[in-house]
Structure 1
Amino acid sequence: MNKMKIATLAFGAVLLGGAGFLINGLPTVAQAADMTVYKSDSCGCCGGWVEHMRKAGYAIRIVSTDDLMPVKTRLGVPDSLWACHTAVVDGKVIEGHVPAAAVDAFLKAPGASRGIGVGGMPTGSPGMEAPGYAPERYDVMRFGGSAPARFMTFEGANPVRR
């Protein structure tokens, strides 16, 4: 083969590869992440949070349990952040009604934190939407290795700039 044919073939391969990215888009954290969620079958707000995460692109596997205490203890979730469900994604722990935007940001952020969580059940957080009630402002906390610290602040499912 002469140099011209090789150059033409190489250019064609680059063009086809670029077309693949245009058609499929760049992969995102959510497209690549499988999430395991530990929750009770009877909890409706947990189901709402799972749907929020599915809409954000996460593949969800549910482990049904009515005794979450051993799960939270094994995964190192601080008592102050305990909520009604616990998830694991890419080896990191997500506790409670954490918005998908915070999960995405946390999975992209370098660091040794074990996980993030929202203690309790803030009104307006994903799964806790209540028509006619204003969403609360709440903090998503980073934990593991030291005392929990603020990671992001939200009002409902929307990040709040500080």
Structure 2
Amino acid sequence: MTRAACLAAGLLGVGLALAPRPAPAPTTTGTLAVSAVVQTSCSLTGGTMSFGTYTSGQTANLDTDGQIGFANCPVGNLVFELDGGGSGSITARRMKSGSNELNYQLYRNSNRTALFGTGTNAYTEIRLVAGGGTIPVYGRIPGNQTLPAGNYADTVNVTLTFP
């Protein structure tokens, strides 16, 4: 390469080095809102009711109280429903021992006038504070039932609806 060519190449390089460069692209900052809804884990914690001993043919009703427990429930209306147990009917509940049947009933109130069942017969607990607790269940075996001795039982399904 000749001296003139070297000088021209050098000047071209200097010219390119001194040429204006494009300005960096503008930038800005902002935020990203991140959120999640966590649903409560409202749950049933068990229920108990034992009538104890019923004497076959006794004339008096046998009454008892039980309870249904719940936990981690939100503020609002909790609706508890009981099905008819093995009989399938909330108006004709029966405990069984083999083929023998002992009539009984479950109620929402202590004077045993409001059946505890489904729909309009459900029990509503109005919760002002989130958490757990128990609700009462009132039971009755009507008197004047003559049955063979045995261990009588039934299983009633509980449904809890919560906000």
Q: TM-score, normalised by structure 1?
A: 0.22
Q: TM-score, normalised by structure 2?
A: 0.22
Q: Which has the larger radius of gyration?
A: 2
Instruction: Return the structure number with greater relative CO, CA threshold 8 A, min gap 6.
Output: 2
Larger helix proportion of the pair: 1
